[in-house]
Homo-oligomer: A and B are copies of this chain.
Amino acid sequence: MSDRLTARDRRRAIVDMAWTDGRAGVGQLALHFGVTESTIRRDLALLTSQGQLARTYGGAMAHGLVFEASLGQRSREGFRQKQAIAAWAAGQIGRGETVLLDAGTTTGQLARELRDRDQLTVVTIGLTVLNELADADGVDVLCLGGRLRHISQGLVGPFAEAALERITADRAFLGADAVTVENGICEANLEQTRLKEMMMARAERVYVLADASKLGRRPFHAWARMPPSWTLVTDDGAPPGEVERFRAAGVEVIVTET
């Protein structure tokens, strides 16, 4: 404080302070560095535009990375639908059960619903799921491991497959890029579909969580074969005809109300 720092150093120090204390006030910072509040405001504006801080009234706060990453990009659309689907799914899970959770925003929502449970074991390959349950002391969380797919924030590959062979679950909740009556779950590549097939094989009951926008689409050409019996959970934006076709094919379909 005795001598003035350069602008860059001061800005880095501001970020540090915000990270350390969680929050830093304009006046407090101005006093600390011996500069005007204007200067601090300019710094905060710059740092905010760089995404290093989040501006608050009268100061700034640090904001985590995961937030931007996992939420900002994808779960923008269809939050309500996913929320409704997740809520229904959470209702199916009883005490003492072991459930298998796929990667994805919907399963992330489901994990969020499970945060306050206890006597529950969650096995997952999803980073969003892990984060939601990071502080859920009552929930036993098992991560299968694997290579991280940055796009889907999920783990795939041999580690996950090897670990899967060593566990079973009461229920498996899977996401999907798309679902059709004829072929089942569609994903970007075979590595993912193989993993999903294995997850389905290791669970007594299989649920596919897919909001209405996922039904009937065929964006890719990798498909996971479905077990004899499974449940599709979607929202009331699903075309009734499409729902009927699934039911006619022997699939149990749950339509949640948003």
Contacts and interface: CB of A to CB of B under 8 A. Distances in A.
Interface stretch (A139-147, A177-185, A246-254): A139-147
Contacts of A68: 22, 135
Contacts of A61: 54, 63
Interface residues of A, number: 53
A136 interface: yes
A43 to B, nearest CB: 15
A76 B21 contact: yes
Interface of A: 16, 19-22, 54-57, 61-72, 75-76, 79-80, 83, 127, 130-137, 140-148, 150, 153, 155, 158-160, 162-163, 166
19 contacts: A19-B71, A55-B56, A56-B57, A62-B67, A63-B67, A64-B131, A66-B131, A67-B67, A68-B135, A69-B131, A69-B134, A70-B134, A127-B131, A130-B148, A133-B148, A134-B153, A141-B148, A143-B145, A145-B155
